[in-house]
């Protein structure tokens, strides 16, 4: 069962480290040592794919490979294969880092620098300036991650961007444009008239947002990330009280959308600016719609998410 031992090693804590992605992705020949032989990484990936194709326990039932009981394991290994001269996008890194963790906050940025071909500045003491450098280096690439949720937003410019690439969920958006003052794009928007806080258990938080200035009984429930800071939530509460809080979605908010129905939609919670230019907003946090009641009649408009 040497192959099983090798795969078992791949499923352990080692493969979920943030540094592992760099170590394997840039290695021209990664080796896995088991009790009785040595495997190359490519061999492991090839053998796992064969297991996916040959899977006959009924789980696939003639369906696509992703239904195989081995597919998730295959994907977690295949995504780490040597990149050669192809290069990596920030989207590639975020998808491959969905479950990656680090003991040290700074490593969420430091572990990526070889992957994006940037030098790390030893004077940086947190991940923030590192992520800022990555986003500035890959501007249009970074803009695709604007609505990815699972991490708080960056405290420095660009403040609409995720503070790390690990732990993100959602889909990317390729229609955003990086401008001098911010990120330009088309969004559906609804004013957040009021809200109530919800406790989902196991430390998870959510809010029910009552939307619109119209009497249409439109509300949605959104997830609140575990790492969202009290300062951000306080700012959100003040923005709601001042009538400056909005929910932005790429699609029309509609009844039946929500995580529990398998149709989650990403969203941004933003605030308009006191005395600011029309159409410019600050992003407070990114989220996913957990449930929706009612239907929005808002129109899509061009908005600038300030850096």
Tens of pLDDT along the chain (307 residues) come to: 334 444 444 455 555 665 676 767 766 777 777 778 888 878 888 888 888 777 765 555 555 565 667 777 777 777 776 666 556 788 888 887 877 778 889 988 998 888 888 999 999 999 999 999 999 999 999 999 999 999 999 999 999 999 999 889 888 888 999 999 999 999 988 899 999 998 877 767 899 999 876 566 788 889 898 899 999 999 999 999 999 999 998 887 765 555 554 445 789 999 997 655 568 999 999 998 887 887 777 778 899 999 9
Q: Please state the pTM of the whole predicted model.
A: 0.79
Boundaries of domain holding 276: 182-306
Pair (19, 122) in one structural domain: yes
Pair (66, 198) in one structural domain: no
CA distance 300 to 287: 19
Pair (139, 186) in one structural domain: no
Pair (133, 229) in one structural domain: no
Structure tokens at 148: 């990815």
CA distance 288 to 286: 7
Pair (203, 279) in one structural domain: yes
Pair (190, 134) in one structural domain: no
Domain tally, the chain: 2
Pair (131, 202) in one structural domain: no
Pair (2, 133) in one structural domain: yes
Structure tokens at 185: 């794009």
CA distance 105 to 168: 15
Pair (186, 139) in one structural domain: no
Going from the C-alpha of 144 to that of each of 61, 115, 183, 268, the distances in angstroms are: 35, 18, 10, 14
SS3 content of the chain, % helix, strand, coil (to 5): 30, 25, 45
Of 101, 118, 146, which closes a domain? 146
What is the CA 284 to chain-centroid distance, rounded?
Answer: 15
pLDDT tens string 41-98: 788 888 888 887 777 655 555 555 656 677 777 777 777 766 665 567 888 888 878 7
Q: Assess if residue 153 is contained within a domain.
A: no
């Amino acid at each position: 069962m040497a192959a099983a031992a090798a795969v078992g090693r791949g499923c352990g804590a080692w493969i979920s480290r943030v540094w592992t992605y760099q170590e394997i992705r840039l290695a021209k020949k990664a080796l896995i040592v088991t009790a009785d032989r040595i495997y190359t990484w490519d061999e492991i990936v090839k053998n796992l794919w064969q297991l996916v194709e040959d899977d006959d326990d009924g789980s696939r039932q003639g369906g696509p490979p992703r239904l195989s009981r081995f597919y998730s394991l295959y994907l977690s290994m295949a995504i780490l294969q040597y990149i050669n001269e192809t290069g990596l996008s920030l989207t590639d890194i975020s998808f491959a880092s969905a479950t990656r963790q680090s003991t040290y906050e700074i490593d969420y940025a430091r572990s990526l620098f070889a992957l994006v071909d940037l030098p790390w500045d030893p004077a940086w003491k947190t991940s923030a300036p590192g992520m800022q450098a990555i986003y500035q280096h890959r501007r249009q690439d970074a803009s695709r991650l604007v609505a990815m949720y699972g991490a708080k937003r960056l405290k420095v410019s660009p403040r609409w961007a995720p503070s790390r690439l690990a732990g993100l969920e959602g889909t990317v958006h390729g229609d955003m444009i990086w401008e001098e003052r911010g990120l330009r794009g088309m969004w559906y928007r609804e004013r957040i008239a009021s809200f109530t806080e919800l406790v989902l258990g196991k430390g998870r938080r959510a809010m029910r947002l009552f939307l619109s200035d119209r009497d249409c009984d439109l509300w949605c429930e959104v997830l609140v990330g575990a790492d969202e800071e009290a300062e951000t939530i306080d700012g959100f509460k003040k923005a709601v009280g001042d009538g400056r809080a909005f929910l932005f979605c790429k699609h029309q908010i509609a009844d039946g959308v929500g995580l529990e129905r398998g149709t989650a939609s990403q969203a941004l919670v933003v605030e308009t600016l006191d005395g600011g230019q029309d159409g410019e907003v600050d992003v407070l946090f990114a989220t996913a719609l957990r449930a929706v009641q009612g239907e929005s009649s808002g129109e899509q408009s061009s908005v600038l998410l300030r850096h």
